[in-house]
Each structure stands twice: as C-alpha cells, then as structure tokens.
Amino acid sequence: MLSLVPVLALVGAAGAVDNGLARTPQMGWNTWNRFGCNIAEDLILSSANALVRTGLRDLGYKYVLMDDCWQADRREEGTGKPVAHPKRFPNGIKHVSNKVHDLNLKLGIYSSAGVKTCAGRFGSLDYERIDAKTYAEWGIDYLKYDNCYNQGRSGTPLISFQRYANMSRALGESGRAILYSMCNWGEDGPWNWASEIANSWRMSGDIKDSFTGYDDRCPCTDMLDCKLAGYHCSVTRILDFAAPLLQKGGPGRWNDLDMLEVGNGGMTFDEYVTHFTMWAFVKSPLILGNDLSSMSRETMEIITNKAIIAISQDPSGNGASRSWKRPVKDGDAQLWTTWLSNGTLAFAVVNTSPHRIQIDMRFSEIFKNAKNATARISSYQLYDLWAQKTEQPPAWSSISSQFPSFVSSLDASNSTIKTVLARSTNWGKDIGVHNCALQDVIVPPHGVKIYLAVSAGVNEWSSECAQRESAIRVVGEPVGVEPPFVPGSVLGGYQMALIFFGVVGLLLLPAVRARLFSQHRVQLRSRPPKGDFYYA
C-alpha cells in the first residue's frame, strides 16, 4: 500500500467532516435489501409512516433512505441536474422530503462515485457540485455514495481519497448539513483516510442474508489485504473483517458493516439476534433493510431491544475489541468487549458453531485491558441484556408510555447504560453479583450472550476465588483449553493441579481415576488461559 502521507496532506484542501452529524452511529431504514429497484414514492412514504406507527422513530431510527433506482433515465437536459423517475416519483423528491420531514424524520438519497450507479442509472462522478446543490435544494439529509463504474479511479488510497473528497467538499459547500455515507466496500483501506471526509464508510463487500459460511463471491479473508471485496458476505465473515479496524471509528466517523438483514427471512431468530447485537456492539450504523409493513413480533423484539440500542448510541463512541477467537467444533467462540461512557463494561460471547456451547468466563480475562488494575479483581453486578427478550411487550404498545425520557435521551444522543438501567426493569435480567468469574454461560448455536458489568467493589483474593480461577469445571470434551502459565516455571498452576489430583487418583481412588481419564482428555500447554469451552 502506498504511503498515506500524500493523502493526509490533502485533508485541509478537502475539508475534514465538521458537519456535526452522526455523533453516534446513524439509525434508519433503507430500501435496497428488501426492495432493490422496486421503489416508488408510495413505498417511501408508507415506510416513513411505519417508522412512526411502530415506535421505531422514537427509538432513534430517523433516516428514511432511498437507495438506487429513484433516478430518471437521464439528467435534465441543458442543466445537467439530477432528475427523479417521473412515474415512480411523480411529485418529485422535494415533495417526498417535505412529507418525511413532517413526520420528524430525515430523508436520504443514493448515488455513486462513478459514471453510473450499480443499477445502471446516472452517477455523480464529475457532477458532484450540481448534485450536492440539488440535494440540498430538495431537503436531503443523507447521501449514500457507492463505488460502481468509477472509471478506474481507484487502486491506491490517494486516488480513492480524491474521488470521494470531491463529493465531501461539494456537500460542505451546499449550504445544508448532509450526512455523508461512503460505500466503497473497503477498497483502498478507507478506515485510514475516510474519517477526514465522511461520516461513515463501508469496510467490506455487500452483506448477504446468511449467518456464516464461505461464498466465493466474497473471496477475501482479510480486508487489510483484499483486492476484490465482492458481495454475498455473511454476518460472521463481515465481523471477522471488522475486528482489526474498530478502533478507527468514533463520534462523527464510523465503520459501516452494511445494512441489517433482520426480518428478511434468511436466518434464524438466534442468528438475527447475534447480527443485530454485534452491529450495535461494534458501533456500526443500524440501518434496517426489511419490509416495515409486515414485521413479525420476533423482528420487533430484536430491533427494539433498548439496552442494545443504548450500547450502540453510547456517547463515548468507544470502539469495541475482540479479545479472542477460539476454535470449537464446526465454528468458533469469540469474546468481545467495549467500555461505555459511565465506566461500565459490556461484553459479548458469540458462538459461530451450529452446536450449543457452555463457557466459564473469567473476569481476569474480560477486564485484562482495563486501565484500572483493580477491575480484574472486582466483583460485578451483571445484567443479561437478552434474558427477557421473550417477555418484553411489543415496542409500539409500550414505548411512549413507559420510556418517554429515554426516547428524549436517545434523540439527544446522550443515553447511557446507567440511565437505561435506572429507568426500566426491561433492560434484561439482573443475574446478581459475581466474584472472579461468570460460570456456566450457555450460548445457543449461532447465538450470542451479552452482559453489562457494573462494579460491585474490589474482591479480596480468597482461596475460594483463586480456586475458581484455576479449577474450571469441564463437562464433556474441552475444546481449545489452554492452561495458565507461571513465568519462570515449566508447569503453571493448572498443570500442577492436574498432576496433583492425578497422583491422588492413582494412589487412592482407582475407580474414580478410571472414570475421570476415560471421559476427560486435557492437553497440557505452556500458554496463558483464554477461556474454557465445552459442549452442553
């Protein structure tokens, strides 16, 4: 990759994003995943009304985004201005904008940094100023800017930066604050330069409504070394792509993992829960892509989980990190953590395996990167943020009466988990104070468990706590267990304990010994522990 010095030298000329928008990841709805090119004025306005009727607007879903195919066959003759399709939008885009704004929502539009859009309509390459000016006149609040038909103006960070900076500059000069959502599929490493010109940037190929698995249309294994981002990328593949990039985002500038597929029918309930949870957890924009007119109760349960939304909209904008990814049968288990603005920590365990797994989580591991050393030896009040998902009332019947103050706090982009917990009992299940570890966490196939940890004070390191740290119960055959390592010694405490109890078994309890060694096979290794997994 070429040096970024020439790119950064152009930042001043392009103008860094200072439009005050997307201080938390943007939320809304987009036409493409469900409707493709089959869009029209009636669909946009009925979907806008659905956001209001279901209470989704009041949860923060405020952008109504028209994707590709809103355009006429060609630009306005003589002026070169963009024109809406006369049959699909007979009253024009300004009319749609006014109707959407009357609902206290915002309207978004789509174009491409190429001579054509991905569906073959006219693009905005070399028409940036006239398009941005027209969008502002129409009252547009959001631009999704794609990467098709770019005339070969890509291949290095500098070339891509210049092409996308042209639209950034034009939007800045339009006289209207317009959220700028870059969609160049991670080409030329936008996480290294797009934060200076855009409010968000796509960092991978297009999503597919599937949870896991390889598709040769999404060929890359690492976005840091990817020549063809492709499309049909699964949820877990995009998470893998995003993991090393998440510290690049922040308030006003976000990694975009693509639109949500929740409710489109290609995944199970647990898979959609994981999809929505992790997009919120890593601070990706939350852009719905389903049919808002026919949502199931299960879909509403997922997209209205207020605690998950509050993590997404936490004003700190702290990036999430993946602490580890461990192989299990037919998949892997992953630990993710993120610090929130009030000093609490959220952590999530993702299971990409088609098998149910059980895991004992150690606080010394979860909090190993905490700035405060005592965090690793504290007791924690834990909240399971999905435990009550089947008990929550539908959002449209409860949101206005139960959570008006929370609605206001989300609109003001200052919600915190502490506020959430104080205002409702529906933020998941209080599972009590835990010392040293959270035992026996069951994660369903392709599922997620997510917790909020609130400090309950420093825990004295008693022998019981030390034993709980080192003697994790094993059920079934462990996968990926790595015993602890004591620096300066060949065998750590875990190994010594195994040897000790093995000797006791050999000498005193032959029957127990035989049963133990026939059921449990543990391989000794000389590396630190990172989690214990077993199938339930």
Q: Which residues are known catalytic residues?
A: 146, 206
Q: Record the tokens describing residue 172, joined without a space.
A: 């800045």
Residue 165's H or E segment, with its range, is helix 157-172
For 242, list phi and psi in degrees, rounded to 5. Answer: -75, -30
Distance from C-alpha of 252 to C-alpha of 317, rounded to nearest angstrom: 9
Torsion, Cα of 497, 499, 504, 507 (10° steps) = 180
Distance from C-alpha of 180 to C-alpha of 195, rounded to nearest angstrom: 11
CB 61 within 8 A of CB 28: yes
Contacts of 407 (CB under 8 A, 6+ apart): 58, 59, 399, 400
How many beta carbons lie within 10 A of that of residue 226, not counting itself?
20
Q: Record the tokens describing residue 470, joined without a space.
A: 């080192």
The 8-class DSSP code of residue 253 comes to: B
Distance from C-alpha of 146 to C-alpha of 112, rounded to nearest angstrom: 4
Burial class (CB in 10 A: 0-12, 13-18, 19+), 330: exposed
Contacts of 98 (CB under 8 A, 6+ apart): 139
9 SS3 class: helix
Distances from the Cα of 288 to the Cα of 57, 218, 261, 278, angstroms: 12, 22, 7, 14
Contacts of 471 (CB under 8 A, 6+ apart): 497
405 SS3 class: helix
Q: What letter represents residue 438's amino acid? A: L
8 SS3 class: helix
